Structure 1
Amino acid sequence: MGKPTGFLDYKRQENEAIEPLSRITNFNEFHPFLDEETRRKQGARCMNCGVPFCQSAIKLKNMVTGCPLHNLIPEWNDEIYNGNDKRALSRLLKTNPFPEFTGRVCPALCEKACLNGLDQDPVTIKENELYTIETAYTNNWMKAFIPSVRSDKKVAIIGSGPAGLALAHDLNRRGHAVTVFEKEDRLGGLLMYGIPNMKLEKKVIQRRLDILTEEGIVFKTNVNVGKDITKKELEKEYDAIIFATGSKKARDLHVKNRDCTGIYFAVDYLTKATKHLLDNTEEISAKYKHVVIVGGGDTGNDCVGTSIRQGCASVVQIEMMPKSPDERLESNPWPEWPKICKTDYGQEEAIAVFKKDPRIYETTIKECILDDKKNLKQIKTVKVRFNNGKLEEVKGTEQILDCDLLLIAAGFIGVEDDLKKSFKLETTQRNTIVTQPNSFQVKDKYFTAGDCHRGQSLVVWAIHEGKECAKEVDAYLMGYTNME
């Protein structure tokens, strides 16, 4: 603990955000870093708790609080305060292979469990993490690690999202020959095409991919495994095959006139927006359109921010659940995950542009209304409530909203049908791949990790799954494992 009174001497200070009306003119990241002296003071706020809940990942009331990767947070906070950035990096990379990703897009489960949060503001753990890894890149400390000894085992990983990349990172460093197959034209999975540029610039992903490639991992894009390369061919060439395909089957909206022109899944909308930025390809444009987004989560918020940058005429975000309280309730004490209302960057931008919060709660869409050419023109909404656990409409609450672009951001419902069919996979009620009890192994040489194993979740959980699965795969290949 570098400064015993740091948590008393210094207040929490976050990276500032560029003002909404300025940042919506581009798709760039918009949080400039604090100066070095201020960042070190933020590291000093860490209390080096005897029981550091920040790195615990404990489950309370079916919600996890604390870091699933069990990052050594007090250790690298101490190093940051004392100016030992290179040592902070070594402690950070010991548990997290990709802090440049989690430092940008993670909801910071660690901070929600920080002891400072009991009676004041928590430590800026997420930003301290990002400072450490970006300092490393600036100083050219991030070097490729090429194993000095190689095994004779070959591993195929299907999917290059955070779970697949974590698997590839760890198994390659163990000495196995790793090939990663990706169906899209670029690597990164949801990091590349599911998260917009203003949250995670794509050069950040490519920077890390360049290192992984130098380390010896083979990446193959535009390969639809099961079609472009068959199950039989994979089994013949590889000693272990791992599914890290994510949970990409989008939940649909079942309403009247659903099949009209003007309705898209959020993941397709965001993918095309990113591809347009990268390659100037055709996008699904919200310019001059009245946009309605179904879904109140992070993806829905990303759609709000993207549609505003494209120049939409209006934006509304529909949420079926009631609005969460603005402050913790007594029934939701620290260190539980705080069930409070968060106004994210997209909603902040909508408030700045349109002078009102875009969110409408306890509402769902009842019908899509078309023009004479069968294009989407309006939607009919209705208020809903839960009665004895059953969702019901509230009579007399129908409203008509202008809408010529409807985006469905209602989450995902498991693995895609083509994958299940190609490999004859058994799935759970949540449409995730069935494994052996308390294991990542499906059967024989097949394994799975990430969202296709646990269901739709966070980047940090996908990385955790990839690392844990890598240990099991290594033990299968070698008869033992010494991987941490």
Structure 2
Amino acid sequence: MGKITGFKEFERQDEAYTSVKDRVKNYKEFTVPLSEEEKTKQGSRCMDCGIPFCHSGCPLGNLIPDFNHMVHQGEWKKASWILHSTNNFPEFTGRLCPAPCEQSCVLGIIEDPVSIENIEKNIVERAFKEGWIKPQPPKNRTGKTIAIIGSGPAGLATAQQLNRAGHTVTVFERDDEVGGLLRYGIPNFKLEKGIIDRRVAILEAEGIIFKTNINVGVNYDVKDLKTFDSIVLCGGSTERRSLPTPGIDADGVVQAMDFLTQQTKVVFGKEVKDQVLATDKNVIVIGGGDTGSDCIGTSNRHGAKSVVNFEIMPKPPGHRSPTTPWPFWPLQLKTSSSHKEGVERNWLINTKEFVKDENGKLIALKTVNVEWKMVPGERPQLIEIAGTEKTWPCDLALLALGFTGPENTLADKLGIKTDARSNYKAEYGKYQTNVKNIFTAGDMRRGQSLIVWAISEGREAARQVDLFLMGKTELPTKDTSGDLVAM
């Protein structure tokens, strides 16, 4: 695939960023696209590796060598067709996916892997630019109606697949606009919301019905769902993790998702009462994942006095750890564009107290350094290191600690069984709950995970719903080899 000797001739080139000084002044995307010639070269780096492990690294089973080869040949329209055959929304994954495919790229054993994610983004952007992505409503309708709860990537993928099968699909979203965490959980500087809007316009033109400001089970009676032949729950994993730490109720301790959601709404002129601002404040972000990184980038754009990041786990190595060899997802330090905008990062540190003044306002954090004691056959033990206590000035603490599971409202009102982690129970590959006409997919079923898994689960769940309703299905599925088959 690609040019036979391309991986020897061309080095990996990633998109550049505009300067930190310029990009922190706004909330727009700030990548600088490669030249057309360079994009073709990057596709040419794809090896004729025999067994493309990138297929198994990608939860969607994207046909990566195939679309890389088309890019190498300048066949961008064919590349778009191949890419969309397995991925409904490559404009999202091409910006937000951590690219497990690249970590399992065979070339990555000896050199920098193929820049698969960026190639993917450029394919879909070229396709939109050229007008190749057009609404494709089904030729016939089955008469079956389906309600999908949640309009994140899992819900949108489920909706498009079931609509393609000819069913009439209605998507319910409790926020004021479609997109789920894509809309309000991801900062605009990582995903401009016009990218969501143009895709939603395609979905609407294909016949999908969207209803916003409807929180099923709260302002919409679940009894009204009985009019639908099937229901798919794609509400995500939205119960936010907190800390059992003294002073957690201080004015100035804020959940990261509230902070990020407010800012995105402000960017688009929506009314936000009492917006939490980092301006001229000492900000501490607790949590070292992507959400923590997003808080860092947003705080710098607010003009924070200082930004510090706490992570309770050890600092990962700079290179792939021997404990996670190729082609597995590596234990490796990740430095995001937001980190490069300014932050002091700290590992193996635990917050002991949020210090308040007499008015209940946050003024400091007390911490202690820790280590993890590993005992074979037992859970790791967190050990505090005596004499390492420290007090940090802090006006705003952002909790970016992830999510514990989905909200239980729908499970309670619909009689859905949950597992030990509170996820809605449905067997992987079947997606059917204990209520036979109700299915679930994405983070609501599997717990907090990646966008690419959400889209994959949405596609697979749609196939199972179609099979349940019609007794057969022509929607594609990914078999164990990564090939797409219809059954």
TM-score, normalised relative to structure 2: 0.94
Count the aligned residue pairs.
468
CA drift at 1:456: 0.1
1:477 maps to which of 434, 458, 469: 469
CA separation of 1:329 and 1:444: change in aligned 2, threshold 3 A: closer
CA drift at 1:344: 0.9
CA drift at 1:481: 1.1
How do 1:13-32 and structure 2 match up within 5 A?
Answer: 13-32=13-32
Encode CA deviations 1:52-73: one digit per residue, 9 max, x unaligned. 00111xxxxxxxxx11101111
1:96 maps to which of 71, 78, 87: 87
Question: What amino acid maps onto 1:172 in structure 2?
Answer: N
Question: What amino acid maps onto 2:401 in structure 1?
Answer: A
CA separation of 1:241 and 1:120: change in aligned 2, threshold 3 A: same
Encode CA deviations 1:416-441: one digit per residue, 9 max, x unaligned. 13333332332111110012575200
CA separation of 1:225 and 1:8: change in aligned 2, threshold 3 A: same
Partner of 1:6: 6
Q: In structure 2, how many angstroms separate the alpha carbons of the residues matched to 1:69 and 1:214?
A: 25
Q: In structure 2, how many angstroms separate the alpha carbons of the residues matched to 1:98 and 1:430?
A: 29
- Asked whether the 8 Å contact 2:429–2:460 carries over to 1, the reply is no
Encode CA deviations 1:53-97: one digit per residue, 9 max, x unaligned. 0111xxxxxxxxx11101111111111111111011110000001
How do 1:56-67 and structure 2 match up within 5 A?
Answer: 56=56, 66-67=57-58
Encode CA deviations 1:181-218: one digit per residue, 9 max, x unaligned. 00111110010111111110000000100110011000
> What secondary structure sits across from 1:345 in the alignment?
coil
How big is the alpha-carbon RMSD for the aligned residues of Structure 1 and Structure 2?
A: 1.2
1:365 maps to which of 345, 348, 351: 351
Partner of 1:83: 74
Partner of 1:423: 414
Partner of 1:59: none
How do 1:164-313 and structure 2 match up within 5 A?
Answer: 164-235=155-226, 237-282=227-272, 283-313=275-305
Partner of 1:149: 140
Q: In structure 2, how many angstroms separate the alpha carbons of the residues matched to 1:422 and 1:190?
A: 24
Q: In structure 2, how many angstroms separate the alpha carbons of the residues matched to 1:17 and 1:436?
A: 42
> What secondary structure sits across from 2:220 in the alignment?
coil
CA drift at 1:20: 1.6
Partner of 2:362: 376
Q: In structure 1, how many angstroms separate the alpha carbons of the residues matched to 2:2 and 2:45?
A: 9
> What secondary structure sits across from 2:78 in the alignment?
helix
CA drift at 1:281: 2.7
- Bigger Cα displacement from structure 2, 23-32 vs 273-282: 273-282
Q: In structure 2, how many angstroms separate the alpha carbons of the residues matched to 1:406 and 1:211?
A: 40
> What secondary structure sits across from 1:201 in the alignment?
coil
> What secondary structure sits across from 1:391 in the alignment?
strand
How do 1:37-76 and structure 2 match up within 5 A?
Answer: 37-56=37-56, 66-76=57-67
Question: What amino acid maps onto 1:270 in structure 2?
Answer: L
CA drift at 1:15: 0.9
Q: In structure 1, how many angstroms separate the alpha carbons of the residues matched to 2:154 and 2:293?
A: 23
- Bigger Cα displacement from structure 2, 156-165 vs 433-442: 433-442
Partner of 2:479: none
> What secondary structure sits across from 1:178 in the alignment?
strand
> What secondary structure sits across from 1:123 in the alignment?
coil
Q: In structure 2, how many angstroms separate the alpha carbons of the residues matched to 1:67 and 1:15?
A: 22
> What secondary structure sits across from 1:441 in the alignment?
coil
Q: In structure 1, how many angstroms separate the alpha carbons of the residues matched to 2:243 and 2:281?
A: 20
Encode CA deviations 1:372-410: one digit per residue, 9 max, x unaligned. 211111110111222241112222211101111111111
Question: What amino acid maps onto 1:249 in structure 2?
Answer: E
CA separation of 1:174 and 1:48: change in aligned 2, threshold 3 A: farther
Q: In structure 1, how many angstroms separate the alpha carbons of the residues matched to 2:470 and 2:402?
A: 38
Encode CA deviations 1:118-170: one digit per residue, 9 max, x unaligned. 10011111111111000011111110001111101000000000000000010
Partner of 1:447: 439
2:337 maps to which of 332, 345, 365: 345
Matched, 1:407 2:398: yes
- Asked whether the 8 Å contact 2:2–2:65 carries over to 1, the reply is no
Matched, 1:395 2:362: no
Encode CA deviations 1:313-336: one digit per residue, 9 max, x unaligned. 111111000000111234432222
Matched, 1:386 2:396: no
What is the aligned-residue identity percentage? 47
> What secondary structure sits across from 2:401 in the alignment?
coil
Matched, 1:130 2:121: yes
Q: In structure 1, how many angstroms separate the alpha carbons of the residues matched to 2:78 and 2:291?
A: 35
- Asked whether the 8 Å contact 2:46–2:114 carries over to 1, the reply is yes
Q: In structure 2, how many angstroms separate the alpha carbons of the residues matched to 1:323 and 1:123?
A: 26
CA drift at 1:337: 1.5
Question: What amino acid maps onto 2:132 in structure 1?
Answer: W
